[in-house]
Amino acid sequence: MADPGTTLQGRLASVLPRPHLDRHERGHVVAAVAVLVVSLLVLPSVLSLYWVDSLIQVAVYSVVALGLGLLVGRVGMFSLGQVAILAIGSWTAARLDYATTLPFPVILLIAGGVAGVFGVLVGLPALRLSGLDLALITLMLAGAVTIVLQNTNFPNGGHGFTGYTSSPFGNPPIRRPSIASTDPAYLRYAVIVALLMFLLVLWHLRSKPGRAWATIRQSEAAAMASGVNITLYKIWAFALASFITGVIGAVLAASATQLYITPFQTANSIELMAVVLMGGVFTVWGALIAALLLELLPSIFDIWNLSPFLLLILFGVGVIQVLSTAPTGIAGQLPKDLARLGRAIASLAARAGGGRNAAGPTPAGGPGPAIAVPEQDPVGTAP
């Protein structure tokens, strides 16, 4: 009001340091560092090989889920072909591994690049299709890839690009990087690759593409009016999601030293969509939760001798729950529910304390907080 120049400068100063994090974001960074420290330093050395192998799969599928979450949550494109993209990444890496002596990181990049190109090809129909139509087209891609893999003796390996061994047990193992030949070391390697992929996506989300995607998701008309090249950014989203999926597919290829067709069945794409929706598509934490549901839960069920079909029922119920009442998934709902629980406990404790010493030191009057809880709830859930 007084002098627009000074207020402008003041605001400039408050906005200019873009990498500056607010309290909320700092919380996320602390949590992410904690997850990393535990999974890099603690878990590989204390867990048995059974759990180490499970966690390698969690690291792999967290990136696959991140890619799908990017498409669904940020751009609003439902793709059921991500497992096919993963298969393409794994297969490319496996063949490169048999045929060349390229360093492992180079194989990761090439696998990502090949998967990225396929992703763009899938993304092309996405320019004209959306919703159910896009889901069906991508599902057919997944089906086609499965058929191709089955008819090209997919899990089979052998030397060279086209090498073939008649006995499935005679395949040479897919080589791992020399610094990560043991399982615990490979878990660390997988976590670091996954971390790099998460950072790549986060960097996108915080810059120009992320803002363009947010605009496209809300309204394509508003995006057009803002000068956003919708075609370019939709293709870009598919390319990025497929690139990270391809890179992590290479990690998957070397994780078990042999590739099997089981993880690349068409139906797995649907299961993946279910856990991604359950985990939550609006934050990157959802991807980690989805991977835990998809890869760690089966191991736990296995140990407890529970039927794996129970998992499918659980995922089905979970998806219904997400679609009907909790669109933000576990990653969005859990903090809200925990906060609500915390407030409820606090108000109960306050009431109990108030009851015990008649006029206790509790500043807020007796029933106040208990009523305030539901009233405060709708804040921030504006449509």
Partner 1 sequence: MIEIENLTVRFGGVTSLDGVTVTLESKLCGLIGPNGAGKTTFFNVLSGFVSPASGTITAFGTDLLKLAHYKRARWGLRRTFQTEQAIEGLSIFDNVAIVWENTNRGRSSRERDVLGAIEFVGLGVDPKSRVGTLGAHERRLVEMARAVVGSPRVVLLDEPAAGLPEEETKHLGSLIRRIPDETGALVILADHDMDLVSACCTTTMVLDFGQVVTVGPTAEVLRDERVVSAYLGATESA
Site of interaction with partner 1 (CB under 8 A): 4, 7-8, 11-12, 14-16, 22, 208, 211-212, 214-215, 217-219, 221-222, 224-230, 380, 382
Q: Nearest approach, Cβ of 205 to partner 1 (angstroms)?
A: 11
Q: Nearest approach, Cβ of 245 to partner 1 (angstroms)?
A: 24
31 versus 222: smaller Cβ distance to partner 1: 222
Q: Nearest approach, Cβ of 217 to partner 1 (angstroms)?
A: 8
Helix axes 104-126, 230-255, angle to 10 degrees: 140
Q: Nearest approach, Cβ of 3 to partner 1 (angstroms)?
A: 12
13 versus 358: smaller Cβ distance to partner 1: 13
Positive or negative, the CA dihedral 221, 223, 226, 227 is negative
Contact between 149 and 91 (Cβ < 8 Å): yes
159 versus 208: smaller Cβ distance to partner 1: 208
Q: Who contacts 328 (Cβ-Cβ below 8 Å, separation ≥6)?
A: 280, 282, 283
Q: Nearest approach, Cβ of 29 to partner 1 (angstroms)?
A: 18
Q: Nearest approach, Cβ of 210 to partner 1 (angstroms)?
A: 9
Contact between 263 and 245 (Cβ < 8 Å): no
230 versus 334: smaller Cβ distance to partner 1: 230
12 versus 359: smaller Cβ distance to partner 1: 12
- The single-letter code of the amino acid at 26 is R
218 versus 257: smaller Cβ distance to partner 1: 218
Q: What are phi and psi of 141, to 5 degrees?
A: -60, -45
- Number of C-beta neighbours around residue 318 at 10 A: 19
Contact between 171 and 259 (Cβ < 8 Å): no
CA separation, residue 112 to residues 67, 86, 239, 294 (Å) = 12, 9, 9, 22
- The single-letter code of the amino acid at 201 is V
Q: Nearest approach, Cβ of 226 to partner 1 (angstroms)?
A: 5
Contact between 65 and 58 (Cβ < 8 Å): no
25 versus 302: smaller Cβ distance to partner 1: 25
C-alpha closest to that of 246 among 141, 111, 149, 145: 111
Give residue 269's Cα distance to chain centre. 14
Question: Using CA atoms, how far apart are residues 313 and 120, in angstroms rounded to an integer?
Answer: 34
- Number of C-beta neighbours around residue 47 at 10 A: 16
- Number of C-beta neighbours around residue 72 at 10 A: 21
CA separation, residue 162 to residues 154, 236, 249 (Å) = 11, 32, 19
Question: Using CA atoms, how far apart are residues 92 and 178, in angstroms rounded to an integer?
Answer: 20
Q: Nearest approach, Cβ of 218 to partner 1 (angstroms)?
A: 5
Q: Nearest approach, Cβ of 62 to partner 1 (angstroms)?
A: 23
C-alpha closest to that of 259 among 58, 89, 134, 110: 89
Q: Nearest approach, Cβ of 26 to partner 1 (angstroms)?
A: 15
361 versus 380: smaller Cβ distance to partner 1: 380
76 versus 318: smaller Cβ distance to partner 1: 76
33 versus 222: smaller Cβ distance to partner 1: 222
C-alpha closest to that of 244 among 111, 348, 97: 111
